[in-house]
Structure 1
């Protein structure tokens, strides 16, 4: 027993935070990998004229992720964040390999790959829900924004990794190129599994299950001041006691009870807006966007995803530097306003100057990606991880993740249809309007969470619910 305790003491906070957020690599890799793999897959399986099959192959992961996020969030409340992250890594490994070894059986191969990628999406969606929840429960309030932002750095690093892998493998024979692109996703999944084997469980989950001694031990790894540990344990225990006294059984209907409704709407709304603002239209289709703007073949534009990936990684690092220096709401509103203008201005310029340089839209898209990278991209997951009360955190973060993936899936499906029926500038202008609506939503519906403990944030929601109940006209 003493040997095990000593071994556990060797777990550093840096190790915990690194592998606690490493699931974002898996999430990001699979978002980006089809950008380069799809042209080779189409040629290998002769799917050039099978638009619906190609669309489903591309979006199948996002479709599966819709359910993976909700399912993992619910199960994590029962089995713990750590165990569910381990399970997600296993699922990701298995179905990444199965994607890479897809049998060549004509049209049936496409259906096989769609099903496999849907199942892979369960793991991707689970990671998108579990990692923010785990990181927020491990990080101290004063550094939670920066440490939770590690998740976004991991996501965009995974995207950049997939873009670089696509570019490096593009000169292989077509069949080998796309198979290796998809199959290599198993490597980061294996690294995640091995790392998480040594991670402790979330102290809040442990305390909720009555294991105070282990919760105290975990907090001792990541809190330097013993007084902070006692204070945090007392705060968590008080919240848990209130939940027990209320004798509430957590269910989906609980999420929208008066006590929680305000915070659930805020968290789920931000998660949904992040995707409906159109970011993934750029990430999935940037080679095609450049092709339509310049006339160059999409296959010759595989450097553009790398450019976007580099901007995303730099932006995530900028966010980690400024995360705890500015309010969450301020960053979201400033970022959303600039993103909206970056989408709307090309349409206005094109209307005033019909002969504008076609690369103008690409320049504005880079500005959009830059501001998205250090505002809405990381802050969505920071808020999802910290805004939901303990009693509903698993289910609520899963619901937010599912809405986020619904947006991602729909944007991925409808963007090609929209650009086929109207100018690209007009399509992006529509997304720009949604960005502005997102700013209004943040201003009116989202509370400030920077510097507050998770228990203080819950109290904000409780008080807001009481005000609404006593003043229904408001």
Structure 2
């Protein structure tokens, strides 16, 4: 026992934060890997004119993630964040390998791959729900935005990694190229599994289960000031005491009770808008977008995903620098406005100048990605991690993740169908309008959370009806 205790004490806060957010790598890799694999898969299985089938293969992971996020969120309230992250890594490893070894059976191959990628999506959705919740519960309030932003840095790093792998493998025979691209996703899943084996459980989950001694020990790894530890424990215990006194039984209907409705709508709404704004249309299909704009083969445009990936990584680092300097709402509204204009302006320019340079739309897409990378991309998961009260955090985070993945799935599914039936500029203009609607939603329905403890945010939600009457800004 003493040996184990000494080993536990060697866990550094840097190790905890790094592997606590490493699940984002899995999320990001699988978002990005199909970007490069799809052109080779289309050629190998002769799917060039099967827009709906291509959409399903691409979006199958997101469809599975809808259920993975909800299921993992619920199970994490029972078994803990750490155990569910471990399970997600195992599922991810297994089905990544099965994707890479898809049998060549004609049209049946496509349906096999769709099913396997749906099951893979269970792990991807779980990671998207569990990592923000775990990171927000480990991070101190004053640095929660920056440390929770590590999740986004991991996501975009996973995307960039997949783009680089795709580019390096592009000269292999077509069949081997896409199979290795998909199968190599098992490597970061294995790294995550080995790292999380040494991670402690969330102190808030431990206190909820009545293990105050272990919760104090975990906080001692990540809080340097004993007084800060005592204050945080007292704050968490007070919230838990109030919940017990109310004898509250958490269920799905609880999420939309008067006490929690405001915060749940805000968190789930932001998560949904992030995807319906169309970002993943760029990430999944950028080679095909460039092909349609320029006429060049998609398989020769794999440098463009790397450009997008670099922009995303740089943007995530910029976010970590500014995260705790600006209000969450301000960043979301500014980012959403520029993103909307970046989608709408190409359609306006094309209407005014019908023969505009076809690469104009690609330039505007880069502007969109740049602003998305340090606003909506990281802040969605920061808000999801910090806005939900402890009693419903697992379920609510899962619900937000599911709505996020519903948007991602629909965008991935219908984008190739939409671009086959209308100009690309018109498709992106539709997404631009959704971006503007997202700005309005943030302005009217989302509270400010920067610098507030999780317990203060919960109190703000509980008192929303009374506060809003006197201060509409809340």
Per-residue CA deviation, residues 266-303 of structure 1 (Å, 9 max, x unaligned), is 00000000001111111111111111211222121111
Cα 1:207–1:38 change in 2 (3 A) is same
Q: Say if 1:258 and 1:465, in contact at 8 Å, map to a contact too.
A: no
Cα 1:348–1:52 change in 2 (3 A) is closer
Between 56-65 and 46-55, the greater mean CA deviation after superposition: 46-55
Q: Say if 1:281 and 1:412, in contact at 8 Å, map to a contact too.
A: yes
Distance 1:89 1:432 in 2: 35
Distance 2:423 2:105 in 1: 38
Distance 1:109 1:358 in 2: 35
- What is the deviation of 1:126? 0.2
Q: Say if 2:169 and 2:181, in contact at 8 Å, map to a contact too.
A: yes
Gaps of 5+ in 1: none
Per-residue CA deviation, residues 364-405 of structure 1 (Å, 9 max, x unaligned), is 110100000000000000000000000000000000000000
Distance 2:314 2:165 in 1: 19
Q: Specify the alignment match of 1:377 in structure 2.
A: 377
Between 407-416 and 43-52, the greater mean CA deviation after superposition: 43-52
Q: Say if 1:259 and 1:466, in contact at 8 Å, map to a contact too.
A: no
Per-residue CA deviation, residues 33-90 of structure 1 (Å, 9 max, x unaligned), is 1111112222223333443332221111010000000000000000000000000000
RMSD of aligned Cα (Å):
1.8
Between 195-204 and 92-101, the greater mean CA deviation after superposition: 92-101
- What is the deviation of 1:413? 1.4
Distance 2:473 2:168 in 1: 60
Q: Say if 1:42 and 1:48, in contact at 8 Å, map to a contact too.
A: yes
Q: Say if 1:259 and 1:465, in contact at 8 Å, map to a contact too.
A: no
State the secondary structure of the residue aligned to 1:180: helix
Per-residue CA deviation, residues 182-241 of structure 1 (Å, 9 max, x unaligned), is 110000000000000000000000000000000000000000000000000000000000
State the secondary structure of the residue aligned to 1:116: helix
- What is the deviation of 1:468? 7.5
Q: When the two structures are aligned, how many residues end up with a matched partner?
A: 474
Distance 1:303 1:422 in 2: 26
Distance 1:336 1:366 in 2: 14
Per-residue CA deviation, residues 170-192 of structure 1 (Å, 9 max, x unaligned), is 11111211111111000000000
Q: Specify the alignment match of 2:266 in structure 1.
A: 266
Distance 1:245 1:309 in 2: 49
Q: Do residues 364 (structure 1) and 336 (structure 2) align? A: no
Q: Specify the alignment match of 2:181 in structure 1.
A: 181
Cα 1:473–1:191 change in 2 (3 A) is closer
Q: Say if 2:147 and 2:320, in contact at 8 Å, map to a contact too.
A: yes
Between 352-361 and 84-93, the greater mean CA deviation after superposition: 352-361
Per-residue CA deviation, residues 121-180 of structure 1 (Å, 9 max, x unaligned), is 000000000000000000000000000000000000000111110110011111211111
Runs (4+) of structure 1 moved beyond 6 Å?
Answer: 468-474
State the secondary structure of the residue aligned to 1:96: helix
Q: Specify the alignment match of 2:425 in structure 1.
A: 425
Q: Say if 2:278 and 2:411, in contact at 8 Å, map to a contact too.
A: yes
State the secondary structure of the residue aligned to 1:447: coil
Q: Normalising by the residue count of structure 2, what TM-score does the alignment of the two structures yield?
A: 0.98
State the secondary structure of the residue aligned to 1:342: helix
Distance 2:333 2:469 in 1: 28
Distance 1:436 1:470 in 2: 27
